[in-house]
Amino acid sequence: MWDTALAAHALLETKAEPEAVRRACDWLVERQVTDVAGDWAARRGDVAPGG
């Protein structure tokens, strides 16, 4: 997953075709976890998961 995020960032830096960046970001959004809190919730339980 992080590889896709880094690749999308690299595409933005190189001014790649916007469609390629959009597809990468869409792929990430579809897989974003928003219903499970990670270990960070022990200290910040008031923050919603998912970034």
User: Is the pTM above the cut of 0.75?
Assistant: no
Q: Give the span between the Cα atoms of 42 and 37, in whole angstroms.
A: 9
Question: Residue 1's pLDDT is what?
Answer: 63
Question: Residue 48's pLDDT is what?
Answer: 84
Q: For the purposes of burial, counting CB atoms within 10 Å of the CB of 24, is it exposed (0-12), middle (13-18) or buried (19 or more)? A: buried
Question: Which residues in the chain land under pLDDT 50?
Answer: none
Question: Residue 35's pLDDT is what?
Answer: 86
